[in-house]
Structure 1
């Protein structure tokens, strides 16, 4: 029961006779000093830059042998282990036959390509002969929130070790890769990116790499994209194990969405998030199974699906050409389908 007594007393005639000191004491406090907030923001960006900046490398590529005239390019990369594993973009590597890495401390070394995945625009390099390098850790991109502070570090337009800051503008975006396929679960940010930033890290205020910068929309202001670190971790592990990424394919385009609490309770599932099917390709596994656009996938082969990155990881090589159960919410009701993923064809670079 609400008590209005105090509200009434605050508006009683006795207030009219309140002393000036009492009136001043009731005046709202002054707003927080903007300078203090700006100082805290600056300290966060500086801390991230000092921790992760030394692990960012310049990636220079050439398409011909030494001494020959050929085309080359410049991008960025992030060292993720002290023995020289480097993540960058597939489109930065391209068809290069020579790759050289250099960092802000003057280290320069040749590198070789361990594997590329054009479907996610990611590539894994190995620095030749380099050891005890500065490196950064991959974070959990699933914990990101819109509005969260992020920092991008790279070599835009050839200017080394450039730092820009912004926020996470949106999560679960889909963009088209250089292979023509759709990259799912992409992070959108307004941190300024330019040609040369590609392959560099998008870093959280905790100093963790939560994305690999990949694309800019020409003519747009403040709309830039990064491949989520959870997707990068999946690609990294596959390349290290197999030299390439093997995936099951079901023929859908999807995005990460919240699962309404009432739907989760009625369906008896723990999911707070799921993978919304936006498009289905005809005559592929998902459409043959009876799934429809608008269905929200919440479980596949007994594994909880809390978004597109979970769906991508679950469709690994061990589930190719197997009959699996896939559970999805349709109009708030849980439905179960049988699906048989096929081998996803390797994209041509």
Structure 2
């Protein structure tokens, strides 16, 4: 908010009697001349004809008009412990979009995490209370279901993120800083970024865009020029906390795999090979590059491949995973990202180091949640 300060009241010095009379007569005559000039200029100017919008402009206008009814304004109530031990209710806000005609709305997990109550406002209607039917912190995705489903729901059309190209035009619609249905335009700036989420996991194939994304845009749709969903706006990289031209969106191909599972089961599949890794902090402090195995589950693909865990009695590191499908793996988050990239039921080739020797083993990726 700008602060406007009043101009200081002008100081009038005491003058000689003759000069004072001259100033007084001038002050009495001046308003009449000013009013005459103002009355001559009081008529409003004619408006110049606009003509038709440029075809590019009309395309964007149509995209917004078709897509905005599918965008949701999400508000939450969360109970937190106060400074003196009492309970305090805090409010949050974010964005989302209509997934289907059954009243499911998709947003980011961090938008609704820990919420006691969730409300969804669609188009110009009143807020509708919703319940969280599933959440996947590993993908930062959540699904809500409206308790009162309007007949006029308009699910956002789905696109594909697999065939995106750097330089494509994209549009973000959301509620930055609580300003509902804000449209921003940009480009696909980069592809195949990695986005850290929860439990040392990363989302692979993330879309980077320079479309302005700010706090409150989280969970809103990223659209292509055909108005199709290609991503879910999730994060920005900024020192100030506001848009700096680097935003990230979860790719729609991943969203289209996770969301149906959240609707049906309340949770998303979790790709893995049946190992329990040692904490990345401990591995980093030991100066080790790769994934050190703390345990290998019985009957898992990792056990079938003959992988051996760290032995605390002898100090033998066992098998350290340093690559997946020819790509180097230096951290646990990188390893998890490669499993996400491969997908459940895929077979991956691991590069494993034991002592000074390296070997390659093939392992099937399974759903750890069964």
TM-score (norm 2): 0.62
Q: 1:113 aligns with which of 132, 148, 160?
A: 132
Partner SS state of residue 91, structure 1: helix
Distance 1:342 1:231, change over 3 A: closer
Q: Is the 8 A contact 1:234 1:313 kept in 2?
A: no
Alignment of 1:28-47 (within 5 A): 39-47=54-62
The answer for the alignment partner of 2:46 in structure 1 is none
The answer for the alignment partner of 2:72 in structure 1 is 57
Distance 1:162 1:287, change over 3 A: farther
Alignment of 1:87-106 (within 5 A): 87-106=106-125
The answer for the alignment partner of 1:216 in structure 2 is 236
Distance 1:177 1:207, change over 3 A: same
Is 1:190 the counterpart of 2:190? The answer is: no
Q: 1:312 aligns with which of 316, 326, 340?
A: 340
* Deviation at residue 208 of structure 1 after TM alignment: 0.6
Partner SS state of residue 74, structure 1: strand
The answer for the alignment partner of 1:170 in structure 2 is 190
Is 1:161 the counterpart of 2:181? The answer is: yes
Q: Deviations over 1:37-67 (max 9, x none)?
A: x9343233222211111110100000149xx
* Deviation at residue 195 of structure 1 after TM alignment: 0.4
Q: Deviations over 1:76-116 (max 9, x none)?
A: 00001122110100000010010000023224210000100
Is 1:207 the counterpart of 2:230? The answer is: no
Is 1:249 the counterpart of 2:249? The answer is: no
Q: 1:230 aligns with which of 245, 249, 253?
A: 253
* Deviation at residue 211 of structure 1 after TM alignment: 0.4
The answer for the alignment partner of 1:339 in structure 2 is 363
* Deviation at residue 246 of structure 1 after TM alignment: 2.5
The answer for the alignment partner of 2:323 in structure 1 is 293
* Aligned Cα root-mean-square deviation (Å): 3.3
Q: Deviations over 1:224-248 (max 9, x none)?
A: 0000001111111211222101223
TM-score (norm 1): 0.66
Distance 1:169 1:313, change over 3 A: closer
Larger radius of gyration: 2
Gaps of 5+ in 2: 1-52, 81-86, 276-288, 297-301, 308-318, 328-335, 352-358
The answer for the alignment partner of 1:326 in structure 2 is 348
**1: distance between equivalents of 2:177 and 2:306?**
44
Bigger mean CA offset, 54-63 vs 211-220: 211-220
The answer for the alignment partner of 2:97 in structure 1 is 78
Gaps of 5+ in 1: 1-37, 252-278, 298-307, 330-334
Q: May I ask how many residue pairs the two structures share in their alignment? A: 259
